[in-house]
Amino acid sequence: MIAVIAGTPTDTQMGVDLLQKYGKAAKGYFVSKTPQEQSLLQVVYPEKLEHLVRQVMTTAKEQGAEVLYVYCNSLAAAVDLKKLAKELSMLLITPLMVYEKMGAQYQALGVIAANNQSTHGIERAIQTENPSVHVIGTGMLKLVDAVEEGAAPDEIILRYQLSSLLHFYKNAGCEAVILGCTHFSYFYDALREISSLPVIDPGYEMMRMLP
């Protein structure tokens, strides 16, 4: 059984739905109730967040989980999940593992994330593989709020002028744009349709890492 661990009930369920769509047995575990609570824990109370994540991971293992599928970019960036997974002897898969591979493929990348804690973690993961990669990051929690509210993908793109952001990334020399938040899979298809740059969604790449 795969334990899907994420920040809020919404992105947790998105991760469970993705795995079940491909025939994987998955159960969801969330750490906080809202994007605001999750962001506050990540930025201001990281020790409390680590304690909560350890509790969730321990519960998942006790309930039969063998794999930890962390479907939350900012959570993966804020907590030393490798350490916790080693303590519990569980296989770990996180979005940061996808980003490490991106460092070997590109020299300049744009990142759209939930907050700047997350953009920092993504940049670090990319530059672990290739320190010369230029990363331009944008943290925007309001995008997460819009997804949680159920706004239509096209409405989100228009409301927050994501087409202009994509244009900025292209003019800055970016070769691709990373969706640095698993919530953003919600508008991935709509964003890809208007983008002249490749748009990378880590959720599907993580699927390939499963045993």
pLDDT confidence of 43, banded at 50, 70, 90? Answer: confident
Q: How many CB atoms lie within 10 A of CB 43?
A: 15
Q: What pLDDT sits at residue 104?
A: 87
Q: What pLDDT sits at residue 179?
A: 94
Neighbouring-strand partners of residue 112? 138, 179
- Cα 139 to Cα 58, 59, 67, 117, 174: the distances in Å are 30, 31, 29, 8, 17
Residue 99 predicted with pLDDT over 90: no
Residue 103 predicted with pLDDT over 90: no
CA pair distance 64, 154, nearest whole angstrom: 40
Q: What beta strand segments (E) does the chain contain?
A: 2-6, 26-30, 67-70, 91-93, 108-113, 134-139, 176-180, 199-200
46 touches 117 (CB < 8 A): no
Entry pTM: 0.81
- SS3 readout for 152-202: CHHHHHHHCCHHHHHHHHHHCCCCEEEEECHHHHHHHHHHHHHCCCCEECH
Q: Encode pLDDT of 156-209 as tens digits.
A: 999 999 999 999 999 999 999 999 988 899 999 999 999 999 999 988 788 888
Q: Encode pLDDT of 63-76 as tens digits.
A: 999 999 999 887 88
207 versus 13: which is more confidently predicted?
13
Q: Encode pLDDT of 130-164 as tens digits.
A: 999 999 999 999 999 999 999 999 999 999 999 99
Q: In one letter, which amino acid is 1?
A: M
Percent of the chain with pLDDT over 70: 100
- Which residue in the block uniquely carries the two structure tokens 């952001």? 165
pLDDT confidence of 53, banded at 50, 70, 90? Answer: very high
